[in-house]
Structure 1
Amino acid sequence: MNQSDFDFANSAQIIAGVDEVGRGPLAGDVVTAAVILDENKPIVGLNDSKKLSEKNRQALAEEIKEKALCYCIARASVNEIDELNILQATLLAMARAVNGLTLKPDFCQIDGNKIPKGLPCPAEAIVKGDGKIAAISAASILAKVTRDQELVELHQRHPQYGFNQHKGYGTVQHLAAIKKFGVIDEHRRSFAPIRNQLELTS
């Protein structure tokens, strides 16, 4: 970030925080969120979603939805992840979240070290921003609560995989289930464990 970016960020009136959840799992969409908080309605307890209990995340997610000036939850599909690669799919989903905001931001603060293309405003990337910037923390929470719920719903359709427990990550339990029951549509075929399993069964 150069000095002009820094000055713009400090003078911007409407700042959106942006984060993603689900880059590492072997299954499911990557989910992103963009949040513009209301300075007049502070939310206590915002933090990196991974550092919060499930109960706290869910309570905070409801408070964010009630108090934020606006928010948008977006995604990139499993097919898009396989076609583009996980990084490009994540950046695409982040841009979708920002562009889906009903209030156009003057500036975006993005968790990580890359800025998506196609944003409607200048932006800065902030490494570990979800633990530093309230709006990014809020985006992290909304994205994680949304994705976790989707994996619970996926578990209901395919209970043999245990998605409600590992949320699609490559745990021993998940890998054993893939080996035993095979690959389903929600698995990311470009990820090595899934690709390897398909090669074994082809």
Structure 2
Amino acid sequence: MPYEPPTHSVERSLRATLGARTVAGVDEVGRGAWAGPVTVCAAVTGLRRAPEGLTDSKLITPKRRARLAAVLGDWVTSYALGHASPEEIDDLGMTAALRLAAVRALEGLPERPDAVILDGKHNYLGGTWRVRTVIKGDQSCVAVAAASVIAKVQRDTAMAELGPEYAPFAFADNAGYPSPVHRAALEELGPTPLHRMSWSYLDALPRWQHLKKVRQPVESGEQLGFDF
């Protein structure tokens, strides 16, 4: 299906309105999985022409994603990954876990960005970061699209490497997301240490639902941050 390639229009806008010299695109993967971490990539691309075929990782086949990620690793100015573990997701909730992973990614960059383009409608980052949220930013913004592809390939690879240890769950195929094979393994064997124990999938597993963890609300005194 044809699609419009991503552009630098948001980056240019942030440079013009905020004087932002370094702009990072941020995207996540793993939010809807039953197992594994949530992973966030922060990528800085400058205003260089994007590699051919760059777009939202979900619109690219696995083979093309892997090839593109290999190109992006050398093409981007810099990138860093941040993760929040299943335990952190259970303890904090997804929004706070996303924030934790995003901050880890941004703080892993060699230089603190002057502004951040965050994929989606909600600014889950908070703190003192200058954030521009962009719906479908992984399709329209070069830096966010690059972050999308890198995050997806890195997380999928990490989950696949766990395949031999957790073979019945077929993590190499589903990356911890819901699938018939994944559900069947859960029904028979129960959750692994990689599973999120506060999630509702356990409600449909009578044999294991007693393991479900009830998360206590976490109070936060963080600033809401800036949203431009």
Cα distance between partner residues in 1 of 2:183 and 2:73: 35
Distance apart, 1:41 and its partner CA: 5.6
Which residue in the other structure is 1:14 paired with? 22
Matching residue within 106, 111, 119 for 2:114: 106
Cα distance between partner residues in 1 of 2:196 and 2:203: 8
Q: Percentage identity across aligned positions?
A: 34
Write out aligned runs for 1:1-202 (5 A): 9-11=14-16, 12-40=20-48, 42-115=50-123, 116-119=125-128, 121-194=129-202, 197=205, 198-199=208-209
Listed one character per residue, the Cα deviations across residues 123-161 of structure 1 (whole Å, up to 9, x for unaligned) are 111111101101000000011001101110121211011
One-letter identity of the residue aligned with 1:199 = Q
Instruction: Give yes or no for contact 1:95–1:117 (8 Å, CA) kept in 2.
Output: no
Instruction: Give yes or no for contact 2:168–2:181 (8 Å, CA) kept in 1.
Output: no
Relative to structure 1, the CA distance from residue 112 to residue 160 in structure 2 (aligned partners, 3 Å threshold; closer, same or farther) is same
Cα distance between partner residues in 1 of 2:56 and 2:175: 18
Structure 1 window deviating more from structure 2 (6-15 vs 73-82): it is: 6-15
What secondary structure, in the 3-state scheme, does the structure 2 residue paired with 1:155 have? Answer: coil
What secondary structure, in the 3-state scheme, does the structure 1 residue paired with 2:36 have? Answer: coil
Cα distance between partner residues in 2 of 1:98 and 1:146: 16
Instruction: Give yes or no for contact 1:27–1:169 (8 Å, CA) kept in 2.
Output: yes
Cα distance between partner residues in 2 of 1:23 and 1:199: 21
Q: What stretches of structure 2 of length at least 5 have no aligned partner?
A: 1-9, 213-228
One-letter identity of the residue aligned with 1:26 = W
One-letter identity of the residue aligned with 1:110 = L
Instruction: Give yes or no for contact 2:26–2:42 (8 Å, CA) kept in 1.
Output: yes
How many residues matched? Answer: 197
One-letter identity of the residue aligned with 2:209 = E
Distance apart, 1:91 and its partner CA: 2.0
Output the TM-score relative to the length of structure 1: 0.89
Cα distance between partner residues in 2 of 1:194 and 1:51: 30
Distance apart, 1:201 and its partner CA: 7.1
What secondary structure, in the 3-state scheme, does the structure 1 residue paired with 2:198 have? Answer: coil
One-letter identity of the residue aligned with 1:118 = G
Moved over 4 A (4+): 5-8
Relative to structure 1, the CA distance from residue 113 to residue 40 in structure 2 (aligned partners, 3 Å threshold; closer, same or farther) is closer
Relative to structure 1, the CA distance from residue 27 to residue 73 in structure 2 (aligned partners, 3 Å threshold; closer, same or farther) is same
Distance apart, 1:39 and its partner CA: 2.7
Structure 1 window deviating more from structure 2 (188-197 vs 46-55): it is: 188-197
Q: What stretches of structure 1 of length at least 5 have no aligned partner?
A: none
